[in-house]
Structure formats: structure tokens, C-alpha cells
Amino acid sequence: MASTHQVTIITQDNESLSFDCRSDEDVITAAVRQDIYLMSSCREGGCATCKGFCADGDYILGKCSSQALPYEEEEAGQVLLCRCYPSTNIEVEVPYTYERISFSPEGLVFAAQIVELAQISSNVMKLQLQRTGDDKQVKFDSGQFFDLEIPGTSSTRSYSPANTTNKQGDLEFLIRIVDGGKFSEFLKKDATVGQSINVKGPSGIFGLKENGFTPRYFIAGGTGLAPILSMVRRMKEWDEPQKCVIYFGVNTEAEIFHLAELDLLAASMPTLELRNCVWKCSDDWHCEKGSVVDILRRDLLATGVKPDIYLCGPPGMVDATFAVCAEMGISKERIYLEKFLPSGS
């Protein structure tokens, strides 16, 4: 028979809240049942949005993706709360502040309309949405993401806006088209300007960290540019003085996009430098030749600067960046990371 235990959540700002959880339900489901909306997205152990550290108590962990919760993290007490079934009272530390917890579903889900849909490179589409209804505001911290529902289904996919929080209701998404992918196929075949889409969010903890005047280096692979662009655009809005460099990498020239947008940003932001890198490029390619990681390594060696690193891209690029940073004496704690994990992986 199922027993009931108390879950205590401790937030980054040392606030706490407690609720009941049956041993046969996961922590996220139990919280929602009691109108507590902790950070979560896929709710099937695939995206790592609900990750926390269990400081006390015992639990059973359901099936999780090894990308979302690597073995070493599981061994060290990290848990995915959407897969965590308490067998005693438990205490879990989460890496976000109390204000990120919502106590009503309203405000989390809203309708938006497609206002622009464009193929912007061989494998990337731009999806521009505008929130509909009386309250147009879209509030989020740069680096966070939203879940978009495929119309006519209950399937959702996570995407990070490339623009910044605003009152007009604008959301700009940069979406890599994956062959046979559900959202990708919807965008290619069925999506039309004027169509309505349900949006849930924001979620996630990727974002700018206050660290004095330390330079910020942003490393983006493909559509990993979206949250990075949002953060750098935010820095511009706030007139932040730190030097920043965007390392934007793709495999071929046909895959590059948003060069005009990046140039525009750099022209209005004297603190920003761009490194647009194409790995397999022709002799005519006018920017950086090689992988973002090679170019990053070259710059770090040449300048001796030890910046904060903001990283979003495919797993190979993420691993290679960690290796270069280790070689250059930049500690793991200075690397802030978002992984675009496939849903349900």
C-alpha cells in the first residue's frame, strides 16, 4: 500500500516549502496536485529541468535519460524530481530562487499566434510568435525557455527565445529541423502564419550570472545561438560594461544564419566581439575557419583572459569546451550550460 511522506524543497535563496507526496507518485505530480508548480518541462526524465540535490531521506528513482542525469550525478545524490518517488520524508535543494515557483497554473500557459515563419539556413527555421489576448506581456529571464504545444496534439517541445522579455508579446525562436521530428515536421508542413499555438513557461535556470566585471564568452553551436543571443541582447539593454565575445559555430556555410542580426548587435555594442566559425568551409568563407572550440582555445592562449563561459550546443561541442577550459585553468564552476536534450530521450 502506498505511504505518504513529506517533501521539503529548499530554494537557492534559502526559502523552503513542504508538501505531501505519496510513495507511488513523483514529486512534480504531487506538487501540481497541491497547486505548487516547481520547475519542470518534459516530466519524463529527459530534459533535466527538474534537477535537484537530495540532501536528506530515501527515494526510488524511475527511468531517466543518462544525458539528463549522468551516473556520477545520480551517485552524488542529484535527482530528477519528475522521476523521484519518496520512500521516507525527503529534503531537496533546487538551483533556483523561491520566486521561480508558481502557485497557480494561470500565467504559465498562454495562447500565441504565428506572425512569421521563415527558413533561415539549410536546417534552421525562425518562428516568430506574438502573445494574443489582453495581457500581451511575455516575462522571462534571458536564457530561459518555453514549451510550445503542437496544435491538435498534447505533445510539447522546449525552445529558448532569442529575443528578450517584452510588453508587446513577441517571442522569436530559432529551431533546428530534425528529419522526422514531430515539431520539425509540423513547422515544415502544417504551420501557417495566423495559426494559434499554446505556450507554457518560462522555465529553466540558464541565464546571466552576476560576477563583477569578469568578461563573458558565449559559445553557441547551431540553434544554441538562441538563448545566447537573448542574453547578449539583454546585456545591451542594460548597458552592461563587461567585454563579451560570441563564438557561433556551424558545420557548413549553408547552415549559418543570423549574421546580419549579429552584425547589427555588434555595431551598437562596443563591448561585443563576434567569431562566426564554420568548420568545413570553402576558401571564400570570410570569417573564422574551424570549430568554435579551436577558435576559443586560440583566443584564450593569445590573451590569457579567464572569462565566465556560457555554453549551449551539441554534446560533442560541450565536452570539447570543458576540455579546453580545463586546459586553460578555467574551473567548471565558471561554465554555465544549457543542453538541448531531445524530448523523451
List of residues contacting ligand FAD (CB under 6 A): 47, 145, 157-160, 173-176, 178, 180-184, 204, 223, 226, 340-343, 345
Q: 32: alpha, beta or left, given left = phi > 0 and alpha = psi -120 to 50?
A: alpha
Report what 159 binds from ligand FES, ligand FAD, none; CB cut-off 5-8 Å by kind: ligand FAD
Q: Is 36 in the site for ligand FES (CB under 6 A)?
A: no
Cα–Cα distance, 39 to 172 (Å, whole number): 22
Q: Closest CB to ligand FAD among 145 and 336?
A: 145
Residue 40 near ligand FES by CB under 6 A = yes
> Using an 8 Å Cβ cutoff, are 338 and 143 in contact?
yes
Q: Select the residue interacting with ligand FES from 9, 38, 68, 250 (CB under 6 A).
A: 68
| Binding of ligand FES by 38 (CB under 6 A) | no
Cα gap 2→24, rounded to integer Å: 6
Q: Cα(80)–Cα(116) distance, rounded to whole angstroms?
A: 36
* 43 belongs to the binding site for ligand FES (CB under 6 A): yes
**Residue 262 binding result from ligand FAD, ligand FES, none, given CB thresholds of 5 to 8 Å by partner type:** none
DSSP state of 28: H
Is 90 in contact with 189 (CB distance < 8 Å)? no
All three cell numbers of 30: 504531487
Residue 22 or 339: which CB sits closer to ligand FAD? 339
Q: Are 309 and 334 in contact (CB under 8 A)?
A: yes
Q: Which is it for strands 4-10 and 16-22: parallel, antiparallel or unpaired?
A: antiparallel
Minimum CB separation from ligand FES for residue 51, in Å? 7
Give the C-alpha separation, 159 to 161, whole Å: 7
Specify the residue for cell string 545561438.
225
**Nearest-approach distance from CB 164 to ligand FES, in angstroms:** 25
Nearer to ligand FAD, 39 or 300 (CB): 39
When the beta carbons of 242 and 345 are compared against ligand FES, the nearer one is 345
Residue with Cβ nearer ligand FAD (169 or 222): 222
User: In sequence order, what are the beta bridge partners of 175?
Assistant: 125
Among ligand FAD, ligand FES, none, what does residue 204 contact (CB within 5–8 Å per kind)?
A: ligand FAD
Q: Name the residue type at position 65.
A: S
Q: Which residue has the cell 545591451?
A: 236
Give least dist CB 183 to ligand FAD, A.
3
Residue found under cell 495562447? 111
**Of 42 and 171, which CB lies nearer to ligand FES in the complex structure?**
42
Range in contact with ligand FES (rule: CB under 6 A) among 46-54, 131-139, 225-233, 307-315: 46-54
241 burial (CB, 10 Å; 0-12 / 13-18 / 19+) is exposed
Note whether 86 binds ligand FES by CB under 6 A.
no
In sequence order, what are the residues at sequence separation of 6 or more whose Cβ sits closer than 8 angstroms to the Cβ of residue 75? none
79 lines the binding site for ligand FES (CB under 6 A): no
Q: Which is nearer to ligand FES, 47 or 54 (CB)?
A: 47
Positions that interact with ligand FES (CB under 6 A): 40-43, 45-50, 68, 80, 82
